[in-house]
Structure 1
Amino acid sequence: MASGEHYFTSRPAGDAKLRPLSVRLAGRDVELVTASGIFSPDRIDLGTHVLLADAPDAPASGDLLDLGCGWGPVALTLALESPDATVWAVDVNERALDVVRRNASILGLSNVNAVLPDDVPEYLAFRAIWSNPPIRIGKDELHDLLLRWLPRLDDDADAWLVVQRNLGSDSLQRWLEAELPAGFGVRRASSSKGYRVLHVRRG
């Protein structure tokens, strides 16, 4: 990645350099592709592991959101486990979205939409949201991101956020409790390997 760039850069500089990636998703070993210039390109990062392990099974149908999808471990897992659902893999990094599309094709998945944030239809309400949010974009940007997407939960729907404890998970929980609209509840669902999983419920 070029000096000064981050995985939340919209168009990473340099060649994507696609390369193979062997991982285990939804209980199966799969051969996918990855690239430079995206988040955790060579493995499922520890926070995402915790999120996938600790969050409950996805709804079987409806619109599901993976916010900050990277190369797609959460979105692809959701699509494999809930084939009748529509999974929205959202990221600002266009290279990451290209990799998600390639991986969905490798797995034969037709229920994954890998798109930029502004390309998600405004009318959609989500049956569930999963996110390993980009904490390092800065507090104000993170807060704007969460206040943009969490209120789009459908009634009686859930969001699951994984945040490293030493990067402010507890203060983020308190902030969500104070700032989300009436009708939302926030709790710590689990704590594992230095991460918290926060559960946000509407309804």
Structure 2
Amino acid sequence: MTGDHYFTAEPTTAARTREVEFTVADRDYTLASASGVFSAVRLDPGTAVLLRKAELPSPDTAGDLLDLGCGFGPISCVLATTAPAATVWAVDVNERARELTAANAERIGAADRVRVRAPDEVPAQLRFAQLWSNPPIRIGKDELHELLLRWLPRLADDGVAWLVVARHLGGDSLHRWLVEQGWQVERQASQKGYRVLRVTR
């Protein structure tokens, strides 16, 4: 046993590499993954629901898109594929996750449009047209709220955030909390025990 979690900054477990295959919007993806990152052996079910039920960016979407807690990069790679005119910022505290996302962006031919960064490396002046996240619920409620209070205000005035949260892990209470913070929140979909939330100003 180790103390590593997917939100550990520098995993100490050996990186057992594998490939993860999935399909989104009729496109097949084969991405590299490794132990020590979130959902290392498959596309996480919540992420799959998010990518299936949220409104993917259109091909003419421009500007900066944020993948918050990118893991090995499935959301970043889908966004970069569906919105080739946009810049995707893939943010994660986990160094191994960032390395994998960078490699996967190169694998799909989008290395020039996916900026992989640690949270503190994202330019402070950036505002995001879209924010996408399967947020790290298991870091704890207070830490989760702090994370969202840091990044949601960086949406552009007309920006939209897409979040997916398991109902049994507090999806409905998070919905209520976001409304209490002054955000407009719509439940876009419910599937397989997950809530897909659309958040705007």
Shared fold, TM over 0.5: yes
Q: Offset of 1:42 from its aligned partner?
A: 1.5
Give yes or no for contact 2:17–2:33 (8 Å, CA) kept in 1.
yes
CA distances 1:125-146 after superposition (whole Å, capped 9, x unpaired): 0001111000000011000000
Q: Report if aligned partners of 2:4, 2:13 keep a CA contact under 8 Å in 1.
A: no
Secondary structure of the structure 1 residue equivalent to 2:163: strand
Q: Check conservation: 1:26, 1:80, Cα contact below 8 A.
A: no
Checking the alignment, whether the CA contact within 8 Å between 1:25 and 1:73 is kept in structure 2 is: no
List alignment gaps of at least 5 residues for structure 2: none
Aligned to 2:42: 43
CA distance in 1, matches of 2:69, 2:84: 21
Query: Could you say what the CA RMSD is over the residues aligned between the two structures, in angstroms?
Result: 1.3
User: 1:55 is matched by which residue type in structure 2?
Assistant: A
* Structure 2 CA distance for aligned equivalents of residues 25 and 115 of structure 1: 24
Identify which range, 15-24 or 106-115, moves more after superposition: 15-24
Is contact 1:51–1:197 with CA below 8 Å preserved after alignment?
yes
CA distance, structure 1, for counterparts of residue 29 and residue 186 of structure 2: 34
Displacement of 1:25 after TM fit? 4.3
**How far does residue 21 in structure 1 lie from its aligned partner after superposition?**
2.9
Structure 2 CA distance for aligned equivalents of residues 102 and 26 of structure 1: 22
Find the counterpart in structure 2 of residue 17 from structure 1. 16
CA distance in 2, matches of 1:196, 1:32: 25
Deviation at 1:185, TM superposition (A): 1.0
Contact in 1 for aligned 2:136/2:144 (Cα 8 Å): yes
Residue identity matched to 2:184: G
Give the structure 2 partner of residue 133 of structure 1. 135
| Match in the other structure for 2:67 | 66
How far apart, in 2, do the equivalents of 1:89 and 1:163 lie?
Answer: 19
Determine the C-alpha separation between the residues in 2 that align with 1:124 and 1:31: 30
State the distance in 1 between where 2:94 and 2:37 align.
7
Match of 1:176 in 2: 178
Q: CA deviation at 1:19?
A: 2.7
Q: How far apart in 2 are the matches of 1:144 and 1:18?
A: 32
Amino acid at match of 1:30: Y
Q: Which amino acid aligns with 2:179?
A: E
Question: Is the Cα–Cα contact under 8 Å of residues 24 and 52 in structure 2 kept in the other structure?
Answer: no
- SS at 1:23's partner residue? strand
2:18–2:41 Cα contact (<8 Å) kept:
no
Instruction: Report the Cα distance in structure 1 between the residues aligned to 2:140 and 2:148, rounded to whole angstroms.
Output: 12
Alpha-carbon distance, 1:94 to partner: 0.6
Q: Secondary structure at the match of 2:173?
A: helix
Map of 1:111 onto structure 2: 113
Q: Is the 8 A contact 1:54 1:190 kept in 2?
A: yes
- Code of the aligned partner of 1:166: H
Alpha-carbon shift at residue 189 of structure 1 (Å): 1.5
Matched, 1:85 2:62: no
**TM-score (structure 1 length as normaliser):** 0.93
| Alpha-carbon shift at residue 165 of structure 1 (Å) | 0.3
> Is it true that 1:193 corresponds to 2:192 in the alignment?
yes
Shift in Å, 1:188: 1.4
